[in-house]
Each structure stands twice: as C-alpha cells, then as structure tokens.
Amino acid sequence: MLARRCAAVPLPSLRAGCGSQRLQFSSTAASRADFTHVVVGGGVVGLAVARQLALRPSTSTLLVERNAAVGTETSSRNSEVIHAGIYYGAASLKMRLCVRGRRLLYDLCDRHAVGHRRTGKWIVAQTDAQRGALERIHALCRDEIGVETRWVGREEMERDGEGVRARTGALDSPTTGIVDVHGLMVCLQGLFEDAGGVVALNSPVTGVRPLGSSPPGSAGWEVDVRDASTGESSTITADTLVNAAGLGAVDVHNMIVPEPRRRRLFLAKGNYFSYAASHPRVSRLIYPAPEPGAGGLGTHLTLDLGGRVRFGPDVEWVESPDDLAVNAARLPQAIAEIKKYLPGVDASCLTPDYAGVRPKLSDKRSVGTGDGFNDFIIRREDGYEGWVNLLGIESPGLTSSLAIAEEVDQLMHGSGGTHSTH
Ligand SMILES: Cc1cc2nc3c(=O)[nH]c(=O)nc-3n(C[C@H](O)[C@H](O)[C@H](O)COP(=O)(O)OP(=O)(O)OC[C@H]3O[C@@H](n4cnc5c(N)ncnc54)[C@H](O)[C@@H]3O)c2cc1C
C-alpha cells in the first residue's frame, strides 16, 4: 500500500534522498517548486488539510511540524467531543463546518475503525435565563440549521437522569459523541502518507516569503525551516501555502504580512479534572447551559472511550501557550460549577488532569461582554496568491477538521476541481 513512505523524518533527510524528484531547490518558478503544497502545522486540522490536498492528482504535499510527533499541542489537549454544531450562529463558519465535519468524522471513524461513540449529551438549565438559552438553541436547531435536539421530559429525567440536576430543563443532543483523537490523527497521517504526502517533524518554520510581486505569492512561496535537533536551516519552495499552525498560526501570519496587518493572539487555558469515583455513574455527556461571553462552554462532564469521567475545561486567561500546568487553585470553583448539575459528585475524588490552550482572536474584555464571538478565519488572504490562512481554530476545530480540509481545498482549487476523499 505504501508506495512512497517517506514520512515522519526531519526535513534535511528528505532533501538528501526520499522524494528527490520533487526537491529541486532554489527554484523561483511556481511550476518548478519543491512541492505543490506546503502545510504548516501537524495538528488534526493540518493533517486533515494535507491529506485532502494530497489526494489531488499530480500534486506533492509537505506537512511541516515543529515537534517530534504530530498532534502534541491543542489537538491532544481537548475534550475529544464530536460536537453537534448547535452553539453558533446560523451564518457562521463554525456552524457550517461543525455540522458538515461531524458527519464526515463519524463516517471516517466508521470506515477506518477509529474509536468513537455516539454518547449523546444533555445540556442542563438551572435558572430561567438558562432555560431561555436552551429554548434559543432548540429553535435555532429546529428552524434554521436542521440539527436534532429534543427536550428531556420530567419523567425521563427522574428515570434516566443518573443523578443529574436540571431545575428548569434539559435539552438532549443525540448526535453529539466522543472520538479517540490520537487514533484519528494516526489514521489521517496514514491516509496522507498513503496518498504520497510527506511529513517533516522537528521542523519549526522560522520564515515565510511570497515569491513574485503581482501579486505576492504568484510565483510560489519560500519557507525557512530549522532542524530542531541540529539547528541547521533550510529553505523549501512550494506553489501554495496553508497556515494551519494552531497556537503558532498568528506568528506565521505575522511573518508574511506588513506591520499594519499583523495580529495578536490571546490565550484562554482550559483546566481539566479527572474523577476517580464510580458514583454518580453518568453515561452521557453533561453540559451546563452556555453563558454568553464566557469564552468556553462551561465546566462540563465528558467521558473517554473507557468510560472514565473528567470535568472541564474552565477558562483561565494566560500569557504563554506553554502555560499548560493544571492550575489546582481553580479546583474549588470547578467543584462549585459541577455541583450545580451533579450535586452528588464526590469532590475528594477530583484531581488535576491536563490543560489545553484556546487560540483566541480577541481578549477577555470583548469575550466577557458577550460581543466577542470569534468565528474561524479560513480564507485566501487579500493581496496574496496561493495562501490559505487558518486563524483562531478553537473549538469546534476537532469536529470540523475534515470539513475545514474541504473548505481549504475549495479555496485553493475552486469548486470545479472538487474531488472525493472516499
Ligand atoms: C480546552 C480545549 C477543549 C477543546 N475541546 C474540543 C472538543 O471537545 N471538540 C472539538 O471539536 N474541538 C475542541 N477543541 C478545539 C480543538 O482541539 C482544536 O480546534 C484543534 O485541535 C485545532 O487543531 P489544529 O491542528 O488547528 O491546532 P494544533 O493541534 O495546535 O496543531 C497546530 C500544530 O502546528 C504546529 N506549529 C505551530 N507553529 C509552527 C511552526 N512555526 N512551524 C511548524 N509547526 C508549527 C504545532 O506544533 C502544532 O502541532 C478544544 C480546544 C481546547 C483548547
């Protein structure tokens, strides 16, 4: 099957041997670039995008990842929830890509035996205001986006509630589920390599330059890469560039654009706490009703595929993407939030687990006032040719990853050339 396995090696090794027919360095003509596509960032989104692009005939795709393995940053520090797509405005990219991505993801998991489960989820309300929020979600799902939701009746709540409290109502989202995100990324990397794609690990991108001037990028792209183990630098060329660098995406963006177009990234850490007790035993995901401007979906109850319960993530604004230690000082606040919907939780069985950092495009002030909804940015950047830029790919980026890949492919190649990944 693997006709050209040349993956998961540092970039200098690629240049020395494998794939040498592609590696004609120092070319500035787009048609003679080393690769047709270079994707920066080997998280779940970069992997999905690279795999989609590699399926095009007569292309060569390089995925460049700064760490020693793919998927070690945000993609392995999340809730592993396959979201239904019910929280975002009907016109948003988040809604469209989440709904499409969920279907694609379940399908891919079924076909490639990636671990997943359709657990369903209840969103629970304790106040009238929260009930109002659930009513708005239900109406949006029913009238505008065609996603299934259902009220949980009082009797059902008493019979099947498993100790969960929902004073003013509970909404069931039956299409929500969980996925083994590590297994998903292994699968995507394998599919990418099977399609002839190349992964360069330990390869931080340190510089990016568009070639040509009318417009910049019309003659391709130069990408500077440092070998993290030797410190040696090299430059590759590609016809097109995808920036899927997650927490590093704004840095990559700022390497390219002039000063007035530079952006700033804001960071919202989410702390998780694992639960060691067997009671209460809850078999579906439980989310509190969303609070406008909270910056997250609230400290919820999620399950992994082994049935283990964990709670989180909260929202803690931090200064560094490397601030990944769980802040144990936030446990009392988490317990207070959890007790609102699971009063029988045994607080002594909660321990710090792990944390992930959300790449936010606006800061806590605008998020906190409720007007800070940031949609995904996925676009061809104005004034450049051959560059698709992905910024602010926070939740539901995992669920949306396969649909984001389709979107990037469309932006890059147009609808005429759409091809199937099946
Ligand atoms: C706390 C939390 C909970 C979440 N829960 C969910 C959920 O339940 N469901 C859901 O759908 N989504 C969830 N998300 C969102 C989801 O995890 C992300 O949207 C998704 O993982 C983003 O993937 P990515 O590939 O864009 O980013 P990443 O996984 O961050 O990958 C980007 C990669 O780029 C690499 N990189 C960065 N800079 C460079 C550079 N200069 N050179 C080379 N490589 C570089 C990094 O090393 C990294 O591997 C959650 C996120 C958080 C933080």
Which residues have C-beta within 8 Å of that of residue 4, sequence separation ≥ 6? 18, 19, 193, 196
Q: Ligand 1 centroid to 114 CA: how many Å?
A: 19
pLDDT score of 188 more than 60: yes
Instruction: Tell me what pLDDT residue 165 has.
Output: 97
User: Is 295 a domain residue?
Assistant: yes
139 & 271 share domain: yes
60 & 133 share domain: no
Residue from 398, 401, 408 to probe ligand 1 pocket by mutation (most atoms less than 8 Å from CB): 398
Instruction: Tell me what pLDDT residue 421 has.
Output: 52
Which residues have C-beta within 8 Å of that of residue 18, sequence separation ≥ 6? 4, 6, 9, 198
Measured between alpha carbons, how far is residue 330 from residues 54, 186, 274, 277, 301 in Å? 44, 33, 13, 20, 16
248 & 199 share domain: yes
Residue from 206, 395, 399 to probe ligand 1 pocket by mutation (most atoms less than 8 Å from CB): 395
Q: Are the CB atoms for 372 and 362 separated by under 8 Å?
A: yes
282 & 167 share domain: yes
Which pair of structure tokens corresponds to residue 30? Answer: 């787009």
Instruction: Tell me what pLDDT residue 4 has.
Output: 33
Residue from 39, 70, 75, 378 to probe ligand 1 pocket by mutation (most atoms less than 8 Å from CB): 75
Instruction: Tell me what pLDDT residue 373 has.
Output: 82
Give the count of beta carbons closer than 10 Å to the beta carbon of residue 417: 11
Taking only the tens place, the pLDDT of each residue in 241-292 is: 999 999 999 999 999 999 999 999 999 999 999 999 989 999 999 999 988 7
State percent of the chain over pLDDT 70.
88
Nearest CA to ligand 1 atom 33: 41
227 & 324 share domain: no
Residue from 43, 49, 48 nearest 248 by CA: 43
User: Is 386 a domain residue?
Assistant: yes
42 & 138 share domain: no
386 & 355 share domain: no
280 & 325 share domain: yes
- Distance (Å, whole) CA 254 – CA 238: 19
Residue type, 340: K
Q: What is the mean pLDDT of residues 358-376?
A: 75
Q: What is the mean pLDDT of residues 181-204?
A: 98
Q: 57 preceded by cis ω (within 30°)?
A: no
User: Is 298 a domain residue?
Assistant: yes
234 & 289 share domain: no
Residue from 73, 287, 391 to probe ligand 1 pocket by mutation (most atoms less than 8 Å from CB): 73
Instruction: Tell me what pLDDT residue 82 has.
Output: 98
User: What is the number of structural domains in the chain?
Assistant: 2
What ligand 1 atom has the least distance to the C-alpha of 398? 11
Mean pLDDT (the chain, rounded):
90
- Distance (Å, whole) CA 197 – CA 63: 8
CA dihedral sign, ordered 203, 207, 211, 214: positive
Taking only the tens place, the pLDDT of each residue in 196-229 is: 999 999 999 999 999 999 999 999 999 999 999 9
Q: What is the mean pLDDT of residues 78-83?
A: 97
Q: Ligand 1 centroid to 347 CA: how many Å?
A: 30
Model confidence band, residue 7 (pLDDT cutoffs 50, 70, 90):
very low
CATH code at position 80: 3.50.50.60
Instruction: Tell me what pLDDT residue 292 has.
Output: 72
Please give the residue range of the domain that contains residue 284: 121-174+266-360
What ligand 1 atom has the least distance to the C-alpha of 98? 11
Instruction: Tell me what pLDDT residue 284 has.
Output: 97
Q: What is the mean pLDDT of residues 43-48?
A: 98
336 & 386 share domain: no
Q: What is the mean pLDDT of residues 335-339?
A: 96
Q: CA 155 from chain center: how many Å? A: 37
Instruction: Kindly report whether the global pTM for this prediction surpasses the value 0.85.
Output: yes
Q: Are the CB atoms for 393 and 376 separated by under 8 Å?
A: yes
Of 340, 360, 380, at which residue does a domain stop?
360
Q: Ligand 1 centroid to 246 CA: how many Å?
A: 5
Instruction: Tell me what pLDDT residue 296 has.
Output: 74
User: Is 365 a domain residue?
Assistant: no
pLDDT score of 367 more than 70: no
Ligand 1 pocket list (CB less than 6 A): 40-46, 64-67, 72-75, 77-81, 83, 204-205, 244-248, 252, 270, 313, 356-358, 393-399
Nearest CA to ligand 1 atom 27: 246
Q: Ligand 1 centroid to 212 CA: how many Å?
A: 31
Inter-axis angle of helices 397-413 and 93-112, nearest 10: 100
Q: What is the mean pLDDT of residues 306-312?
A: 95
Q: 343 preceded by cis ω (within 30°)?
A: no
What ligand 1 atom has the least distance to the C-alpha of 393? 19
Model confidence band, residue 24 (pLDDT cutoffs 50, 70, 90):
very low
What ligand 1 atom has the least distance to the C-alpha of 247? 30
185 & 254 share domain: yes
Q: Are the CB atoms for 142 and 84 separated by under 8 Å?
A: no
User: Is 24 a domain residue?
Assistant: no
Residue from 176, 161, 178 nearest 124 by CA: 161
Q: Ligand 1 centroid to 230 CA: how many Å?
A: 26
Exposed e or buried b per residue across 241-259, where buried means at least 16 C-beta atoms within 10 angstroms of its C-beta: bbbbbbbbbbbbbbbbbee
User: Is 422 a domain residue?
Assistant: no
Q: Ligand 1 centroid to 27 CA: how many Å?
A: 32
User: Is 7 a domain residue?
Assistant: no
CA dihedral sign, ordered 74, 77, 83, 89: negative
45 & 94 share domain: yes
Nearest CA to ligand 1 atom 3: 78
CATH code at position 296: 3.30.9.10
User: Is 224 a domain residue?
Assistant: yes
pLDDT score of 30 more than 80: no
